[in-house]
Structure 1
């Protein structure tokens, strides 16, 4: 592997530690020194000096919750909607990329906008093909294959089926998978994934992933916790994304999902969640006490009408926070910088004495917080000994000289930077993207492959659309009645 110095007008080692006219030295993918450029430049010869006084140097960003589909649902006529109705519409979609190509296209979008690590939460078959795609991309990835064994239409399908006309209920049941995987099958798959990611070396981790408490049994949750402890794996799941999930908690568990997991003795620092929009004060206290991380997905929460997560309250309580796009970023381009800007502005409350998120809080979500959630303890900062996952951002693209005098670099990164401002991306010491071009991937060929595949796909069938339209009023009525259980 090569050696290099990466130089910037500012070097952001981590939130709270910024070096003006700074630089880092990396050899064999590991940061060996950080400091002033003049000092680092005296440490010996290197293969290349990257960056310069026109750039900000930052740690590679971490997208801590993603599904790697690579294409947007609206291409199949499925518009943003409340999650529960959106999922019903999505179930009838046949449009999409295969898992390998979906992972590669997702990786292209993330890398070119400064993301070097992601947590891939795989839904459906094809997770081993997704591993192939990410391995080819050069990204650092935490893989989790989501497990579901019930609640395919609602959070209580037994009650839902009983509300349907018998003929419609029979048709709905016939559309379910003919044979659900059992617990043993799932944990064998986890072992297969662990074997498959071996080609990625230390750029891959594996997590266990119950989709969420409504979709799996308590028996599975307990076994997942036991297997995770035994094999030193993390667990990642969805949590309290919508108000209907909050109501389902009270109907099913007579308590919140967090309280239920606490009763099962599953909460702990190896357990992470996505969303957490409808957490209450007691839930937040429990998550903080047990060190459970939460990934904030602001664009997804807006697009699927979930609400605003209590991120300020979680941050105040010291719940470890990360940030992710959920494959539903505000512009469907997986630009994590836009998620940072949105988070910085979304959670301010009225009045002068209310708390909000500081820029360093937001930036930490995409760096140190993401590193913690994904389980990569060797990334997230540019401190000595960390992996050389490094991004340079073009400072001059942001405007003229007044910026140099007036603005804090972190404020610029959080509030005024876009993925298009990224100049160079390094992962594990290797430059994978520079000046708008990938160094090891044929972006044009991959995008053409994706376009050809999408153009050849069949649109949703009339029968599928008709079935969804017939079922939708019953779904809406079911959820309207479910809300009576909500506190």
Structure 2
């Protein structure tokens, strides 16, 4: 048994409690055995004393992480032009080893910011999985299904079925990799593809990740024919299982009620939606309806980073300004969206909080920063405000995934970051050409 002890532990329980002089015990399997006051910790354990704050690893519910290779390309175009004129042509040049290189560097970027889990939608997922297993992070891979020139959605669905049937939904040390289905969107797939994907996922208990109502014009045909994309997804059976809908900027009250009734998760990506001028999702209404909402960065070519702490701040600010209510989303509530809420949106109860039985995905934030100049001996709400609004990711120093330390003193314990950056730089030249 190993024990991490810190002056403050934030377990991400529903009340966003702040525990003083507390510990996190990690068992031999890499799961949490106890989280609570040090004075009540059971038995003996090897203790590591840490200054500052311990909290769960953040959960990025929507990313296209290998797009670090395309970062900065076409950054001033609207969504559909950006995809058609810049991104899709560049992606046509991608090789499997490019995706591994991009995923490796992106996974390092997230881990150094305290993001231990990311839900991914991209190509060449065997290479992406290998990269994540190399960095020691955790990923939920939505295996791609698209109907575009040069792509056969039926073959892609068959490939996804075969991989899941061969390796199961989760594999790797600490179950670091989860497989699922990633139909891109209703506007890039025929209804038949959505129907068959829903059936395949339901038969295997797999998560479906899909883009929904990201821009106002993208799903005009679906709205005309079915009323809305959520209605279409419900008609084909996709909302009957584990489903994560990304973006969801343009939802009606009826759409939101449908998601709430079906238990559909939503990946709210305020930074990307703002940068691409897609709009501001109706977060306050979704939360009021008890929709399961997590936070996502989207891809690093549209955000343009993978720092979920920025999404915590943006989610709160956009929710407040869109409702003109300064209490629409508190800092503590936003933090929970990036941890426990993200896990719930993914349909996972084994990550996102420091609770017995969950994986020991733990982040250590130290105090060597003006954000914490007032110290820890302040009221809980002030401490949480300083963490969320002032410190963000810049004082993340150590990270554990499934009980294994994968970041120490701000750097990966497993991978040479400089070499990973140089590799991506060399490959990006070819993709721009």
TM over 0.5: yes
Aligned match of 1:117: 117
1:441 to 397, 401, 415: 415
Q: How far 1:370 moved relative to its partner?
A: 1.5
CA–CA distance in structure 2, aligned partners of residues 366 and 329 of structure 1 = 21
2:359 to 381, 387, 401: 387
User: 3-state DSSP class of the match of 2:351?
Assistant: coil
Distance 1:213 1:145, change over 3 A: same
Give CA deviations for 1:94-123 in whole Å, capped at 9, x if unaligned: 67771111110110000000011111111x
| Contact 1:22–1:36 (Cα < 8 Å) also in 2 | yes
Aligned match of 1:399: 372
CA–CA distance in structure 1, aligned partners of residues 181 and 195 of structure 2 = 12
- Say if 2:263 is the partner of 1:266: no
RMSD across aligned positions (CA)? 2.4
CA–CA distance in structure 2, aligned partners of residues 350 and 458 of structure 1 = 38
Aligned match of 2:400: 426
Matches within 5 A, 1:46-445: 46=46, 48-52=47-51, 55-71=52-68, 73=70, 75=72, 77-89=73-85, 90-93=87-90, 98-122=98-122, 124=123, 126-149=124-147, 152=148, 176-177=149-150, 180-192=151-163, 195=166, 198-200=171-173, 202-251=175-224, 253-268=225-240, 270-328=242-300, 332-349=304-321, 356-397=328-369, 398-401=371-374, 404-405=377-378, 407-445=381-419
| Most deviating of 402-411 and 95-104 | 402-411
Alignment coverage as a number of residue pairs: 422
CA–CA distance in structure 1, aligned partners of residues 286 and 90 of structure 2 = 36
CA–CA distance in structure 2, aligned partners of residues 296 and 358 of structure 1 = 16
Give CA deviations for 1:375-418 in whole Å, capped at 9, x if unaligned: 43211111122111100111342232366325533323322232
The structure with the larger Rg is 1
Q: How far 1:254 moved relative to its partner?
A: 4.4
CA–CA distance in structure 2, aligned partners of residues 353 and 86 of structure 1 = 33
Give CA deviations for 1:145-181 in whole Å, capped at 9, x if unaligned: 22111xx5xxxxxxxxxxxxxxxxxxxxxxx31xx32
The answer for unaligned runs of 5 or more in structure 1 is 153-175, 461-487
Distance 1:313 1:7, change over 3 A: same
| Most deviating of 387-396 and 307-316 | 387-396
Q: How far 1:208 moved relative to its partner?
A: 1.1
Q: How far 1:231 moved relative to its partner?
A: 1.0
CA–CA distance in structure 2, aligned partners of residues 107 and 45 of structure 1 = 31
Give CA deviations for 1:277-315 in whole Å, capped at 9, x if unaligned: 000111001100111010001111011110000011000
CA–CA distance in structure 1, aligned partners of residues 407 and 325 of structure 2 = 44
| Contact 1:208–1:228 (Cα < 8 Å) also in 2 | yes
| Contact 2:4–2:50 (Cα < 8 Å) also in 1 | yes
| Contact 1:128–1:193 (Cα < 8 Å) also in 2 | no
CA–CA distance in structure 2, aligned partners of residues 379 and 369 of structure 1 = 10
| Contact 1:194–1:206 (Cα < 8 Å) also in 2 | no
CA–CA distance in structure 1, aligned partners of residues 351 and 18 of structure 2 = 17
Distance 1:50 1:144, change over 3 A: farther
Distance 1:182 1:276, change over 3 A: closer
Q: TM-score, normalised by structure 2?
A: 0.90
Give CA deviations for 1:37-71 in whole Å, capped at 9, x if unaligned: 2443x72131x41413xx11101100111112252
Distance 1:405 1:369, change over 3 A: closer
| Contact 1:105–1:446 (Cα < 8 Å) also in 2 | yes
Distance 1:448 1:353, change over 3 A: closer
CA–CA distance in structure 1, aligned partners of residues 257 and 375 of structure 2 = 43
User: 3-state DSSP class of the match of 1:441?
Assistant: coil
| Most deviating of 218-227 and 312-321 | 218-227
Distance 1:194 1:62, change over 3 A: farther
Give CA deviations for 1:459-480 in whole Å, capped at 9, x if unaligned: 34xxxxxxxxxxxxxxxxxxxx
Q: How far 1:248 moved relative to its partner?
A: 2.9
CA–CA distance in structure 2, aligned partners of residues 245 and 330 of structure 1 = 17
CA–CA distance in structure 2, aligned partners of residues 74 and 388 of structure 1 = 32
User: 3-state DSSP class of the match of 2:352?
Assistant: coil
| Contact 1:344–1:414 (Cα < 8 Å) also in 2 | no
| Contact 1:61–1:114 (Cα < 8 Å) also in 2 | yes
